[in-house]
Amino acid sequence: MEEPAIISTYRRLLFIALVAWTFLVAIAALFYWNDQNKQIIALAKNTAVTALNKDLAVRSWVISHGGVYVPVTDKTPPNPYLSHIPERDIQTSSGQHLTLMNSSYVLRQMIENYGPMFGEKTGITSLKPLNADNLADAWETKALNYLSANRTKTNFYELEKKESGISLRMLIPRVTEEYCLKCHKAPENKIGEIAGGIDIAVPLKPFTEMTREILFHTYGWLSLIWFLGTGAIIVAFRIIRKKVLELHAKEIEKIKNYRSMISLIVDLIDKRDSYTAGHSQRVSQYCEMIASALSYDESNVNKIHEAAVLHDVGKIAIPDSILLKPGNLNPVEKELIHSHLTAGYELLSKVDAYHELSDIIHQHHERYDGKGYPDGLSGEQIHPLARIMIVADAFDAMTTDRIYKPRKKVADALKEIESQKGFQFDPEVVDAASTVLRDVTIKSFNQLPKTEIEEERFAYYLKDQLTGLSNHWALESILQINQHSHEYHFATVIILENLEAFNRQNGWDKGNVLLNRFGTALKNGYPHYHIYRIFGYTFVVLSHDFLVLSSDSFRSTEFLETMTVSTTVSVIHLIKEKIDSIKKLEEIIHLKSLKPKPPDVLG
């Protein structure tokens, strides 16, 4: 992860932490505000219940005494709604006039004359009143009906919004008792039914003002806690940021060092084998072209480019004796060459930055039908970018000259790839490759050694151990490549005659000395030409132009003057004769009666 990305992530996490902290404090404030509202309602309910229970207690006392008689005054005149009771009005022995007051009359007197002494005024209501002033309004009717349907409930309350503010309105029921029938006739009224109630409206404003100061102090503390928490989060994140950046710097340095090591390995491979270096660059180019045609974004195009450059890095673990072998590999050698995938994977997968690249590289010899290696993956199991690399790698292998096989034309290579569509290759990738690679120009490039280091690496297979000249394997590869490149037009064939007789007379050791000295003479005499020893005592010089060389050219050679060995020289036109193998060259030699000896008698 680049440093700007880390800073961006840090800021995002800090923002999330601050938002979360603010959210928690806000939730706490909201919870406390809600709790205070509940407290306000609870206080209002308690106030209402206390006031109503006071009235209910007075009512119960009056009912329990069958009503009370009081002197007739302006404030307590005889109740006209009790006129049907014979004993409503009585006179004492002293001549004082008394009138009967039932529970409702007593409550009304208390409410009207003494209500302010007890806080909020209560009210009497009834569904079947004697006094029309006590008739229930709409809200009271709703409350009484609710309590009648829910007899276990002791009260009914709701918040009511008025111009003066919000009030809690509560009603408690009045249950008809036996004494009530003295005033309220049966059968309209029945014992035990709810015929009316006492209600009250308690304003919430006094309680709100009482809790406002508490809320102010609480919110002040919450604000302080928020500021302290915010500061702590910022400080903590700055410490974490510093640590993360330090760790990031160490990780970047580690990655740089590892990448430097990988670069050194790649550079070593490049210097060790120029063909592998060129192959990796070409494969990366083809991968980019195919990935772009498949509409991959820039990030993935860069990813497959980097993977392609490194895809053969594991070959550093493969011995040259296998890596450069011109002929077919035996089963053990194939297993070893396959191991370059695992070697490359293990080398790259140790760094997180290369983890996905290592997967791509590890899979670039799988087949779409599951018959590839190393894991036998198939179809969608293979990484999408690896499926691109499989095609690009095969295309480059087909269109470049190898030691063991000449290159194909682009059209032929694409035709072969098309034939493996759905088998070796992903059909979608094949379609894209066929479109973007058909106009690719392939520069002449082969696997033959181009530096002294490469010549020494190839010496095991391509150098004649006796003379130090190139051998028949090298000539075989050159003849195959030359049919495309036309770099060489002529092959000058030199045969040492009578060498077999010389060996019988003087011994094989002296014959070997003769061959070595003759090869050295050819190298010194023609330093800019490619010279090969192929049939024991047959030498071939390849040249673009006709090389003026005859048997007489070697007569004056010091070590041949005194010997019975002579030379025969003949020139073959490689292009006209279409010579693309040693076998064809041998046929032409026979036709020219040059009579080379078979390989089993090589000196």
Assign domain 463-601 one CATH number from 3.90.1150.10, 3.40.50.300, 3.30.450.70, 3.30.70.270.
3.30.70.270
528 confidence band (pLDDT: 50, 70, 90): confident
Per-residue pLDDT tens digits for 400-431: 866 556 678 899 999 999 999 999 999 999 99
For residues 140 and 161, give the distance between their C-alpha atoms in angstroms, rounded to a whole number. Answer: 16
- Looking at residue 208, the DSSP 8-state letter turns out to be H
For residues 215 and 221, give the distance between their C-alpha atoms in angstroms, rounded to a whole number. Answer: 10
List of E strands, 333-383: none
Q: What are the contacts of 37-40 at 24+ separation with CB within 8 A?
A: 39/207, 39/211, 40/204, 40/207, 40/208, 40/211
Q: Which residues contact 110 (CB under 8 A, 6 or more apart)?
A: 55, 58
278 confidence band (pLDDT: 50, 70, 90): confident
Does residue 317 register a pLDDT over 60? yes
**What value does the mean pLDDT of the chain take?**
82
Which range (40-49, 334-343, 442-451, 583-592) has the least confidence? 442-451
Class of domain 273-436: mainly alpha
Overall average pLDDT of the 543-569 stretch: 71
- Helices 3-64 and 205-272: crossing angle in degrees, nearest 10, is 160
Which range (296-310, 324-338, 464-478, 530-544) has the least confidence? 324-338
- Looking at residue 294, the DSSP 8-state letter turns out to be T
600 confidence band (pLDDT: 50, 70, 90): very low
Q: Where are the domains of the chain?
A: 48-209, 273-436, 463-601
Backbone phi and psi for residue 527, each to the nearest 5 degrees, phi listed first: -65, -20
Q: Which residues contact 440 (CB under 8 A, 6 or more apart)?
A: 286, 399, 410
Q: Is 203 helix (H, G, I), strand (E, B) or coil?
A: strand
H or E stretch including 169? strand 165-175
For residues 143 and 170, give the distance between their C-alpha atoms in angstroms, rounded to a whole number. Answer: 9
The answer to whether 301 and 378 have CB atoms below 8 angstroms apart is no
Q: Which residue has the tokens 């035990």?
A: 192
**Between residues 345 and 326, the one the model is more confident about:** 345
Q: Which residues contact 515 (CB under 8 A, 6 or more apart)?
A: 466, 467, 496, 499, 533, 537, 603
Nearest to 342, CA basis, from 367, 318, 319: 318
- Is the sign of the CA dihedral 135, 139, 145, 147 positive or negative? negative
Per-residue pLDDT tens digits for 155-201: 999 998 888 889 999 998 987 766 666 666 656 667 767 878 888 88
Does residue 602 register a pLDDT over 60? no
- What are residue 203's DSSP bridge partners? 167
Within 13 A of 191's CA, how many CA atoms are on the CB side? 5
- Looking at residue 198, the DSSP 8-state letter turns out to be E
Does residue 120 register a pLDDT over 80? no
For residue 239, count other CB atoms closer than 10 A to its CB.
10
Question: What pLDDT is attached to residue 228?
Answer: 94
Q: Is 69 helix (H, G, I), strand (E, B) or coil?
A: strand
Overall average pLDDT of the 252-259 stretch: 76
**Between residues 479 and 2, the one the model is more confident about:** 479
Helix H segments across 65-137? 103-114
Per-residue pLDDT tens digits for 60-76: 888 778 788 989 988 88
- Looking at residue 406, the DSSP 8-state letter turns out to be P
H or E stretch including 458? helix 452-462
594 confidence band (pLDDT: 50, 70, 90): very low
For residues 567 and 574, give the distance between their C-alpha atoms in angstroms, rounded to a whole number. Answer: 21
> What CA dihedral angle connects 304, 307, 309 and 311, to 10 degrees?
-130
- Looking at residue 120, the DSSP 8-state letter turns out to be S
551 confidence band (pLDDT: 50, 70, 90): low
563 confidence band (pLDDT: 50, 70, 90): low
Q: What are the contacts of 577-581 at 24+ separation with CB within 8 A?
A: 578/483, 579/479, 579/482, 579/491, 580/406, 580/479, 580/480, 580/482, 580/483, 581/476, 581/479, 581/480
- Is the sign of the CA dihedral 553, 556, 558, 561 positive or negative? positive
The answer to whether 531 and 511 have CB atoms below 8 angstroms apart is no
**Between residues 541 and 351, the one the model is more confident about:** 541
**Between residues 442 and 306, the one the model is more confident about:** 306
- Looking at residue 563, the DSSP 8-state letter turns out to be S
**What would the two tokens of residue 404 be?**
């063991």
For residues 519 and 469, give the distance between their C-alpha atoms in angstroms, rounded to a whole number. Answer: 7
Residues recorded for the chain = 603
For residues 8 and 44, give the distance between their C-alpha atoms in angstroms, rounded to a whole number. Answer: 53
595 confidence band (pLDDT: 50, 70, 90): very low
H or E stretch including 538? strand 538-543
